[in-house]
Structure 1
Amino acid sequence: MEPMRKETPDDQPCGSRVPKSKPCPRPRPGEAAGGCSFDGAQIALLPITDAAHLVHGPAACAGNSWGSRGSLTSGPDLSRYGLTTDLGNNEIIFGGEKKLRESIDYIAGRFAPPAIFVYSTCVTALIGEDLDAVCGEASRRLGLPVIPVNSPGFVGSKNLGNRLAGDALLQYVIGTEEPDSDLPPGINLIGEYNIAGELWSIEKLMNQAGIPLTARITGDARYKEIACAHRARASMVVCSRALLGLARGMEERYGIPYFEGSFYGAKETTYSLRQMAYLLNDREMERRVDRLTEREEARLAHDLKPYRKALKGKKAVLYTGGVKSWSVISALKELGVQVVGVGTNKSTDDDITRIADRVGDEAEYISEGGALRILKTVKERKADLMIAGGRNMYVAMKERIPFVDINQERHRAYAGYEGLLRLARELTGALTHPIWELASAPAPWEWEESGDDR
């Protein structure tokens, strides 16, 4: 196999010719449309399944995003507990640090977790709770990592919360433990949250290729593996908008190189597996990856034939963000679907560059406007279906537009080769469902008025 750094830009399948991205810019305070900073921090850290996650604030904050995402676990489920200090009026007026200490002590005694993450909220930040001091004192007293996550909702958007969560991992977790001596150094997967079990499909491919996985950050993760992430040989950033800053920090602090990749689409998956093997500098592993990817792509090409026939020439509006804004385009193009509109409101400048590489001037870029703007694009571009998050599903149903959910609340895994086949089935099913013919037909009373005997 030729070293991947020698490939020409036109040979590279996933936009690797684009320079490495910079972390997302810090949003303006209060700019929390689409989710607040507290929400973003929980999205990034709640998938650490064996740790306890304590929300320091009113009970309503604990219900902000807890339990609403499709991030799955294969083992411990302590992270699913909705733990909160449940501050009332008295604590808000006179201070809630005493209640926070009591809550930490209760969690440590009741659950004996390997670590406790404590999240600040708008209320506790505004009244001046010293989260760092309380967590530090509790950690020394209990002999247990108690990690402050300073991400109150008012400081910015969900993307900023992702970044603050990554900062907390780098400052308080990564490098604090050592892995077992018999485990080979491998790859960190950064920004993969195991939505609908996608990480398991990725792990299966890595195992078949013999690529060791050091740490999952943070889908279906365990606290210790993240604490040992500094011993990895390389990192793959799956979602650059969320945790690119963490990857850069690990490169600067521990000398761990990283690359940005995706597992949406066969070509993207193949590139990512090859790049992992290349960075691990293992020739035999590279050969195994070549054999695996050739076999999987051939099998997938055969299985996709009927779906490509049904999807060829169809037009779609894709409204998502981050890595999915460009990598899902690659998957859709492999299926013969033309993207005529794409959301960019949660994408970095480099994400937008990758989008342009794939669609050029053919698609409309939707930077803001929500459902109204999406519907306008669908109608103007004569799109056949909408691919977006669950919040737009009911809008699509009311407008009788075939819809496929692509965001974090979904229950279908679309990563890897099997994921592309599953996406093809979902798209075909959405387009050919008999409900659209029924919904477009005249109502029974309209038949009667027109004299139709049907």
Structure 2
Amino acid sequence: MADKPKIRELLDESACAHNKSKQSPCNAPTPGATSGGCAFEGAQISLFPYADAAHLVHGPITCLGASWETRATKTSYPGRDLTQMGFTTDISTSDVVFGGEKKLLSAIDYIMAHYTPEAVFVYATCVTALIGDDIDAVCRHAAEKYGVPMVPVHAPGFVGSKNLGSRIGGEAALAHLIGTKEPETTTPFDINLIGEYNVTGDLWQYSPLLGELGIRILSTLSGDGRIKEIRTAHRARLNVIVCAKSLISLTRKMEERYGIPTISLSFYGKRDTSAGLLAIAEALGDEGLIERTKALIAREEARLDGKLQPYRELFKGKKAVLNTGGNKTWSIASALQDLGIEVVATAVKKATEADRQKARETLGEAGVLMMNPGAEQAKIIDDTGAHLLLAGGRSLYTAIKKGIAFADVNQEKKKSYGGYDGLLNLAEDLKNALENPVFENVARRAPWEK
């Protein structure tokens, strides 16, 4: 088995152009800065959607409780969805003193006896990393015993941010899964989707369009994914990073090892969905495919424009503030612009340098890139006269205080906003938010208050 991931190399990623011009690497850990998600959470985000694998948290039960079921990562897996099971070794004080390796092996034995997963991901946490439990040795022993992949994930929370943890999750998949199995068949149009987690079914909004074009999704990391498919990912013709720049280390190494080129794109909004479909076709390099893709785009855009016309009348002149993280800082902004809404500010605190640059391009020079959105968004709403706040649930109170409409666009959202039809879902939700009188009414003072 491979050695532990080298954190310094993951921080100073050569494929990230911004590292060359910075004094410190991208996503270098900052003391006390894991409140937005630690490395352990990021690793789970990258790998958790595999429903046919058991996800075993080697640490105190609180680590499981803080990370489990935080996103609606939907799956079509026909068997038992193991993401609905919370597996932990529940490390106690005595385990800290005497070591938790026997407890870990016993937990794997239990999982294999009762659930027979296609793989087991074993996540190190702060406590078990500090006491020095050798999860690599335990995983090696268990893999030999059961003949299925046992994947150690060395992402204890203290090593850094959620973004770094996602990279470590990708490293674990590359070291222990990718390239370990050959596909039954291949096609000239096989692709891997990297960084697509199928949150609220985003993947299902555009995968039928890829299928109609004859483009086969060989594997995903990891939305609606299967372990047997990611093991064959080395035979794809193209890696497609769907927004998540955190996995750029994985795709660079796959290009070096297997010669698989990489493109990065977004499927939020009309423009980005169309550009993404065409980018995939052009990267695969088949003229017939490119022509079919252009025809499909023309058809879908015409269908979408007809359905969006009533919404555009309502959204005319409306302004929005966007407080989310990562790629959504610009991809959701682009989707809002497709609806005719002006995005006056977006939060970039949790975004990579590449995402911040993209956000600047999307919003233009007049748009505000918020580095401290908790403190800035209320003032920006006042200064710009914004009508909408799109954010996570914690920002609902800002919208209530300011008396403007609110929509949840973070991972807790209930609907998909991906692809062409996802833009319709977003339009309907924003229409309902703008027409909902509750936001204006709750901001009013009671009649007896001065």
Q: Name the residue aligned to 2:6.
A: none
**Structure 1 residue 445: Cα displacement:** 4.8
- Looking at structure 2, the residues matched to 440 and 140 of structure 1 have their Cα atoms a distance apart, in angstroms, of 63
Structure 2 counterpart SS, 1:429: helix
Q: Name the residue aligned to 1:4.
A: none
Confirm whether residue 28 of structure 1 aligns to residue 29 of structure 2.
yes
Confirm whether residue 269 of structure 1 aligns to residue 273 of structure 2.
yes
Contact 2:123–2:153 (CA under 8 A) maintained in structure 1: yes
- CA-to-aligned-CA distance 1:43-76 (integer Å, 9 cap, x gap): 1111011000000011111111211211111124
Confirm whether residue 320 of structure 1 aligns to residue 303 of structure 2.
no
Structure 1 counterpart SS, 2:322: strand
- CA-to-aligned-CA distance 1:132-163 (integer Å, 9 cap, x gap): 11111211122221110000011111111101
Contact 1:29–1:155 (CA under 8 A) maintained in structure 2: no
- Looking at structure 2, the residues matched to 268 and 259 of structure 1 have their Cα atoms a distance apart, in angstroms, of 13
Q: Name the residue aligned to 1:14.
A: none
Confirm whether residue 392 of structure 1 aligns to residue 392 of structure 2.
no
- Looking at structure 1, the residues matched to 352 and 164 of structure 2 have their Cα atoms a distance apart, in angstroms, of 13
Distance 1:22 1:288, change over 3 A: farther
Within a 5 Å distance, the mapping from 1:13-412 to structure 2 comes to 25-28=26-29, 30=31, 31-75=33-77, 76=79, 77-181=81-185, 186-368=190-372, 370-412=373-415
Contact 1:388–1:407 (CA under 8 A) maintained in structure 2: yes
Distance 1:348 1:182, change over 3 A: closer
- CA-to-aligned-CA distance 1:270-295 (integer Å, 9 cap, x gap): 11111111222222222221111101
Structure 2 counterpart SS, 1:167: helix
Aligned residue type for 1:179: P
Contact 1:22–1:244 (CA under 8 A) maintained in structure 2: no
Aligned residues: 428
Contact 1:390–1:410 (CA under 8 A) maintained in structure 2: no
Unaligned runs of 5+ in 1: 1-18, 450-454
Distance 1:72 1:191, change over 3 A: same
- Looking at structure 2, the residues matched to 392 and 21 of structure 1 have their Cα atoms a distance apart, in angstroms, of 33
- Looking at structure 1, the residues matched to 401 and 50 of structure 2 have their Cα atoms a distance apart, in angstroms, of 38
- Looking at structure 1, the residues matched to 18 and 214 of structure 2 have their Cα atoms a distance apart, in angstroms, of 31
- CA-to-aligned-CA distance 1:171-194 (integer Å, 9 cap, x gap): 111001111126665111111111
* Alignment partner of 1:428 out of 428, 431, 436: 431
Structure 1 counterpart SS, 2:66: coil
Distance 1:62 1:203, change over 3 A: same
Q: Name the residue aligned to 1:13.
A: none
Aligned residue type for 1:113: P
Aligned residue type for 1:264: Y
Q: Which runs of 4+ in 1 moved over 6 A?
A: none
Of residues 112-121 and 65-74 in structure 1, the stretch that sits farther from structure 2 once superposed is 65-74
- Looking at structure 2, the residues matched to 181 and 301 of structure 1 have their Cα atoms a distance apart, in angstroms, of 38
Relative to the length of structure 1, the TM-score reads 0.90
- Looking at structure 2, the residues matched to 440 and 240 of structure 1 have their Cα atoms a distance apart, in angstroms, of 37
Of residues 437-446 and 69-78 in structure 1, the stretch that sits farther from structure 2 once superposed is 437-446
Contact 1:20–1:260 (CA under 8 A) maintained in structure 2: no
- CA-to-aligned-CA distance 1:63-98 (integer Å, 9 cap, x gap): 112112111111241122100001111111111111
Structure 1 counterpart SS, 2:195: strand
Distance 1:22 1:42, change over 3 A: farther
Distance 1:232 1:87, change over 3 A: same
- Looking at structure 2, the residues matched to 212 and 22 of structure 1 have their Cα atoms a distance apart, in angstroms, of 33
- Looking at structure 2, the residues matched to 50 and 324 of structure 1 have their Cα atoms a distance apart, in angstroms, of 28
Unaligned runs of 5+ in 2: 1-14, 20-24
Distance 1:22 1:110, change over 3 A: farther
Aligned residue type for 1:387: L
Contact 1:47–1:221 (CA under 8 A) maintained in structure 2: yes
Contact 2:186–2:235 (CA under 8 A) maintained in structure 1: no
- Looking at structure 2, the residues matched to 112 and 425 of structure 1 have their Cα atoms a distance apart, in angstroms, of 42
Q: CA RMSD in A?
A: 1.9
Aligned residue type for 2:326: G
Identity %: 47
Contact 2:181–2:228 (CA under 8 A) maintained in structure 1: yes
- CA-to-aligned-CA distance 1:76-122 (integer Å, 9 cap, x gap): 41122100001111111111111011111111111111110000001
Aligned residue type for 1:134: V
Relative to the length of structure 2, the TM-score reads 0.91
Aligned residue type for 1:233: R
